Structure 1
Amino acid sequence: MATHGNRRATVFARTISGNATFEPDPGHDRAWTVTVDGVPQSYVDLADPAHLAFEYVRRLATILRLARAPGVPMKILHLGGGGLTLPRWVAATRPGSHQTVVELDPLLLAAVARTLPWPPEIGIEIADARTFVDTQAFAGATPEAYAGTGGYDAIVVDVFQGSAMPESVAGTSFAHAAARLLRPGGVLAMNLTDVRPPAHSRIQAATLRTAFADVALIAPPGMLRGRKLGNVVLAASAICNTLPVSRIARSVAWDREPARVWHGEELTTFLGGARARLDGFP
């Protein structure tokens, strides 16, 4: 349908952290860009949930596509809500999936509910991401008792304070807690921002390696050539070769913007001795 003359108005909302803006896309009748404090956070197309406009969201979706056979329902924990773009995509492409979205800001969720209502099968928890994970992961008395009790097929970590990932989900103790919530063969997908040279990404990959046997790092070549700020996506599994670089490389090739993937020994070389971020894991 043509959208010339689209008169939808921009929506403004107050959140706990600041201000959110819902900007209509003139090229799509029911699509909006959600910006929080000037940082574009989500793009939601209510008419086509499979339309993923942001590059990093397509990377995260690629990891979820690889996690299980096509169309098979999944149990997914999303840390960070925003406009719920990825949960909407999962609901559309994997009907019957059990999804829980953890979002700290109830005012942002209320604004999203008014402007961009989500499918009722997506569950919402208003909570701090780290607190939620720790509460589930450490429910048992011993490591043997609570290992894998969450049974999630995938955990998506997309938590931000402004344009940066908070320290609460960036350290080794969080990585170990998240690993406990995954079923055998489950995957963790993490979005973060970095600048060139990507020192933060190297540290974060090294941190995940303390809890996961297999880690891959996906980054747009433009960021490595000097783009000021870019999104880096990490994929991790407790089982080696769950995410071989060949599968990821073939899968990201479908995107209109290519990505570079580091995995295995190539990732070890890329990390260059970067050390994990320790934060009190017992």
Structure 2
Amino acid sequence: MSTGSKGDGDGDAGHPSVVLKLSGHTAVIEPDRFTPGSFQLVVDGTPQSHVNIDHPEELFFEYIQRIGHVIDLLGDPHEPITAVHLGAGALTLPRYVEATRPGSRQQVVEIESDLIDLVRQVLPWDKRAQLRVRHGDAREVLGKLPAGLQGAVDLVVVDIFSGARTPKHVTSREFFALAAPLLSPRGVLAVNVADGPGLAFARGQAATLSAVFEHVIGFAETQVLKGRRFGNIVFVAAHTPIDLNWIPRLLANGPHPAKVIEGTELRQFMAGSLAATDETSTQSPLPGRTVFQIGH
């Protein structure tokens, strides 16, 4: 690992970096040149996290802001929640939960332990946070979480990437069926799905979630939902009806322009798509080279 002044090699421009043992990808933490106190985690050339150390309640990436709005709508404002984050990055959302809902209990699962070591060293999080980091594959760790979490989790976030793609074993019906029993009666599962024109992968993920959960909505930037450009769609799934009052609030909170699909429109969105199984699941599509432009 390199932290600019020591380690086994420097990242770009001497930024803290590490070559991840499992994937072989290079993870680099770069300062945000435009926002003092903010940093970006880039893995294999793909921006994966943005953290404002001084103001963790400020979220940068569009899809992360949308998940943040979902977190804001859970229970009463500032009420502590129980959360499980599958995929850590630089722990942007766990930091957000702690900043906006102090006292929340959180579990973070990350397969790349040396990534966590880099983040812990360069971008340490609040020591007061009730945050447990578990190392391992998200699917394997789901089966080993404490029994007390079953039926007690208010928020499960699935934001798993290896480089620029989501591995296929965490996109299947069997995978989501492992996460489903965690949810409390008010609990929701939020999934970040990256896709491009045609949206074949996203439509399949909507069908897969609908095969496991009775209630599903999706929301994103309008042009992404129309399949006109590569981007992120956030799907929210639950066992109990999702409060329809959430929809105008999600739209109003942006980022704009935004669109929510649910009910008949969601069924039309995923029409003809089959739920993915372990035998048929695929990894998310590779974004074009022009999608992520990293400046130095």
- The answer, yes or no, to whether TM exceeds 0.5 is yes
What code does the residue aligned with 1:124 have? V
Is contact 1:152-1:186 (8 Å) kept?
yes
Is contact 2:66-2:255 (8 Å) kept?
no
Is contact 1:73-1:97 (8 Å) kept?
yes
Distance between the aligned counterparts of 1:136 and 1:174, measured in 2?
Answer: 14
2:282 maps to 1:275 = no
1:142 aligns with none
Is contact 1:216-1:243 (8 Å) kept?
no
Is contact 2:65-2:255 (8 Å) kept?
no
2:139 maps to 1:130 = yes
Q: 1:243 to 1:200 in 2, by over 3 A?
A: farther
Distance between the aligned counterparts of 2:136 and 2:20, measured in 1?
Answer: 15
Distance between the aligned counterparts of 2:274 and 2:118, measured in 1?
Answer: 40
Distance between the aligned counterparts of 1:204 and 1:226, measured in 2?
Answer: 15
1:189 aligns with 190
Moved over 6 A (4+): none
1:81 aligns with 88
Cα displacement (A) at 1:265: 1.3
Residue pairs, 1:175-214, within 5 angstroms: 175-214=176-215
Bigger CA drift: 30-39 or 14-23?
A: 14-23
2:105 maps to 1:98 = yes
Cα displacement (A) at 1:224: 4.2
Q: What secondary structure, in the 3-state scheme, does the structure 2 residue paired with 1:44 have? A: strand
Residue 43 of structure 2, aligned match among 27, 32, 36: 36
1:231 aligns with 232
Kindly provide the CA deviation profile for residues 183-236 of structure 1, in whole angstroms up to 9, marking residues without a partner as x: 112100000210111111111011111111110011212324555421111000
1:143 aligns with none
Residue pairs, 1:40-189, within 5 angstroms: 40-120=47-127, 121=129, 122-136=131-145, 149-189=150-190
| Length, aligned pairs only | 263
Bigger CA drift: 176-185 or 85-94?
A: 176-185
TM-score by length of structure 1 reads 0.87
Is contact 1:151-1:182 (8 Å) kept?
yes
Bigger CA drift: 165-174 or 226-235?
A: 226-235
Kindly provide the CA deviation profile for residues 110-169 of structure 1, in whole angstroms up to 9, marking residues without a partner as x: 1111110012222111111001112349x7xxxxxx9x8251111000011222211121
TM-score by length of structure 2 reads 0.83
Gaps of 5+ in 2: 1-12, 280-296
Is contact 1:214-1:243 (8 Å) kept?
no
Is contact 1:76-1:154 (8 Å) kept?
yes
Distance between the aligned counterparts of 1:238 and 1:266, measured in 2?
Answer: 19
Distance between the aligned counterparts of 1:220 and 1:256, measured in 2?
Answer: 7
What code does the residue aligned with 2:137 have? D
2:244 maps to 1:248 = no
Gaps of 5+ in 1: 1-7, 140-145
Cα displacement (A) at 1:249: 3.4
Distance between the aligned counterparts of 2:206 and 2:145, measured in 1?
Answer: 23
Distance between the aligned counterparts of 1:199 and 1:249, measured in 2?
Answer: 27
Cα displacement (A) at 1:72: 0.5
What code does the residue aligned with 1:128 have? D
RMSD (Å), alpha carbons: 2.0
Q: What secondary structure, in the 3-state scheme, does the structure 2 residue paired with 1:210 have? A: helix
**Identity between Structure 1 and Structure 2 (%):** 38
Distance between the aligned counterparts of 1:10 and 1:221, measured in 2?
Answer: 35
Q: What secondary structure, in the 3-state scheme, does the structure 2 residue paired with 1:27 have? A: coil
Distance between the aligned counterparts of 2:41 and 2:190, measured in 1?
Answer: 22
Q: 1:86 to 1:213 in 2, by over 3 A?
A: same
Q: What secondary structure, in the 3-state scheme, does the structure 1 residue paired with 2:63 have? A: helix
1:261 aligns with 260
What code does the residue aligned with 1:87 have? P
Distance between the aligned counterparts of 2:58 and 2:177, measured in 1?
Answer: 33
Distance between the aligned counterparts of 1:178 and 1:25, measured in 2?
Answer: 34
Kindly provide the CA deviation profile for residues 26-59 of structure 1, in whole angstroms up to 9, marking residues without a partner as x: 2322110110000000000101001101001011
